């Protein structure tokens, strides 16, 4: 099968990473062209990887079968509709759109064009999250705690911390780990360094009585990406940065030990701790491989438009409560 002819629109922080990986995944992709409003950025990458820098976005669509859209969220709708209109498969970075109405428009456009729409919820492809999902297939989930903290850099100007950072964990928790109906959601937030929500915390109760606590900050001094899962049988700690996964299971058993001088002795062991092996693969590499396989085999991506739409709708509800509670610090 021939490599998929692909282009990248937007070569900022995420776009540059897409270019780096696509330039090396030559068995699956042929990186044809890149486009960005900043000609300085495109010229640098064009020279570095030996690829064409398109002078306008329409000429890029003429040359490719698929595209990565890594522009600011406020431009996702425009570029996404152009991709669908030109009959091009697209991976659009998260969130799919600024709001659920625009996201629904994009979904319809790609369905009408009969082209693949995938959304860049890259944390779904973090090997820790992949292994965590496997662990929970035989467990009854009772509670989840997710924490995602970053320092302030001012890079994102068109989105709050909810749609910028928290949406990752909303997707993981509500679309992957607990797909039950949400029966109650409460949230609070605060503006610290910008005129948008910089810190947010929500509590979600699901139809199966499981509870999720999700917190996100872009004004913290430390970078944190952690998920703690409570089940009826175990307690699981997942660190998405260090790529570690630890499970503590209830044991509640008596262990007998034979000794030479006193015959035997016994002790109670209440729990057993285990570190789970996590494959070392860059999440963005896994995401792009999945995108290519979906195109080649006409498969629905695991992060399709509808899962992205649900994450946006939940994020919108979280944002309403966070804004209502906001006090400028």
pLDDT digits (tens, 9 = 90+) for 126-166: 999 999 999 998 889 999 999 999 998 776 667 789 999 99
> What is 28-89 written as a DSSP string?
TEEEEEEE-S-HHHHHHHHHHHT-EE-SSHHHHHTT-SEEEE-S-GGGHHHHHHHHHHTT-E
Q: Using the 3D structure, point to which of 280, 296, 318 is the last residue of a domain.
A: 280
pLDDT, position 253: 45
pLDDT at 178 over 50: yes
Q: Are 303 and 121 in contact (CB under 8 A)?
A: yes
Q: How confident is the model at residue 254 (pLDDT cuts 50, 70, 90)?
A: very low
Contacts of 294 (CB under 8 A, 6+ apart): 116, 118, 300, 301
The pLDDT > 70 percentage for the chain reads: 91
Q: Are 310 and 179 in contact (CB under 8 A)?
A: no
72 and 160 co-located in one domain: no
64 and 153 co-located in one domain: no
Q: What is the DSSP letter of 230?
A: E
pLDDT at 177 over 70: yes
Q: How confident is the model at residue 192 (pLDDT cuts 50, 70, 90)?
A: confident
pLDDT at 215 over 50: yes
275 and 294 co-located in one domain: no
9 and 73 co-located in one domain: yes
Q: How many residues are recorded in the chain? A: 329
Residue range 259-270: average pLDDT? 54
Q: How far apart are the first and last CA of the chain?
A: 56
pLDDT at 278 over 90: yes
User: Is 228 a domain residue?
Assistant: yes
Burial (CB count <10 Å: 0-12, 13-18, 19+), residue 242: exposed
User: Residue 291: helix, strand or coil by DSSP?
Assistant: helix
pLDDT, position 186: 97
pLDDT, position 252: 57
259 and 295 co-located in one domain: no
Q: Can you tell me the distance from the alpha carbon of 309 to that of 55, in angstroms, rounded to the nearest whole number?
A: 32
Helices 305-324, 100-113: axis angle to 10 degrees equals: 170
Domain of residue 55, residue span: 4-121+284-304
pLDDT, position 265: 52
Residue range 217-232: average pLDDT? 94
Q: How confident is the model at residue 329 (pLDDT cuts 50, 70, 90)?
A: very low
pLDDT, position 193: 84
**Residue environment code for 284-301, b if the CB has 16+ CB neighbours within 10 A, otherwise e:** bbbbbbbbbebbeeeeeb
pLDDT at 244 over 90: yes
pLDDT, position 261: 58
Residue range 158-186: average pLDDT? 94
pLDDT tens column, 194-204: 888 999 999 99
User: Is 65 a domain residue?
Assistant: yes
97 and 133 co-located in one domain: no
CATH number at residue 66: 3.40.50.720
User: Is 190 a domain residue?
Assistant: no
Instruction: Give the DSSP H or E segment for 100.
Output: helix 100-113
Q: For 100, what's the count of Cα atoms within 13 Å in the CB-facing half-sphere?
A: 13
210 and 262 co-located in one domain: yes
274 and 294 co-located in one domain: no
pLDDT at 45 over 50: yes
Asked whether the bond before 95 is cis by omega within 30 degrees of 0, the reply is yes
Nearest C-alpha neighbor of 142 from the set 197, 100, 198, 205: 205
Q: Are 82 and 57 in contact (CB under 8 A)?
A: yes
Domain count, the chain: 2
Residue range 204-224: average pLDDT? 95
Q: Which long-range contacts (CB under 8 A, 24 or more apart) does 28-32 make?
A: 28/3, 28/4, 28/288, 28/289, 28/292, 29/3, 29/4, 29/66, 29/288, 29/292, 30/2, 30/3, 30/4, 30/5, 30/6, 31/6, 31/7, 32/5, 32/6, 32/7, 32/60, 32/63, 32/64
169 and 141 co-located in one domain: yes
Give the mean pLDDT of the chain.
91
Residue range 75-104: average pLDDT? 97
Q: How confident is the model at residue 262 (pLDDT cuts 50, 70, 90)?
A: low
């Amino acid at each position: 099968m021939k490599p998929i002819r692909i282009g990248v629109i937007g070569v900022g922080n995420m776009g540059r990473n897409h270019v780096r990986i696509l330039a090396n995944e030559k068995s699956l992709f042929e990186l044809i062209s890149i486009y960005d409003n900043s000609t300085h950025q495109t010229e640098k990458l064009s020279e570095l990887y030996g690829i064409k820098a398109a002078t306008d976005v329409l000429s890029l669509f003429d040359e490719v079968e698929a595209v990565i859209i890594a522009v600011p969220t406020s431009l996702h709708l425009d570029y996404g509709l152009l991709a669908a209109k030109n009959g091009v498969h697209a991976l659009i970075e998260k969130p799919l759109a600024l709001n659920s109405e625009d996201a629904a428009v994009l979904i319809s456009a790609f369905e009408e064009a009969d082209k693949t729409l995938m959304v860049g919820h890259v944390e779904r492809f973090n090997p820790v999250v992949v292994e965590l999902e496997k662990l929970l297939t035989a467990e009854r989930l009772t509670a989840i705690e997710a924490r995602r903290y970053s320092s302030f850099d001012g890079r994102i100007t068109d989105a709050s911390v909810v749609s910028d950072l928290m949406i990752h964990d909303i997707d993981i928790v509500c679309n992957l780990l607990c797909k039950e109906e949400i029966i109650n959601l409460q949230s609070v937030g605060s503006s610290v360094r910008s005129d948008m929500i910089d810190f947010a915390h929500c509590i979600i109760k699901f139809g199966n009585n499981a509870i999720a606590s999700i917190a996100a900050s872009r004004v913290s001094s430390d970078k944190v990406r952690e998920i703690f899962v409570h089940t009826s049988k175990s307690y699981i700690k997942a660190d998405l940065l260090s790529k570690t996964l630890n499970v503590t299971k209830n044991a509640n058993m008596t262990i007998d030990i034979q000794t030479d001088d006193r015959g035997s002795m016994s002790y109670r062991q209440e729990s057993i701790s285990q570190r789970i092996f996590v494959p070392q693969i860059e999440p963005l590499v896994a995401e792009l491989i999945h995108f290519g396989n979906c195109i080649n085999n006409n498969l629905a991506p695991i992060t399709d438009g509808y899962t992205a739409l649900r994450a946006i709708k939940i994020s919108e509800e979280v944002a309403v409560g966070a804004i209502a509670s906001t006090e400028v610090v």
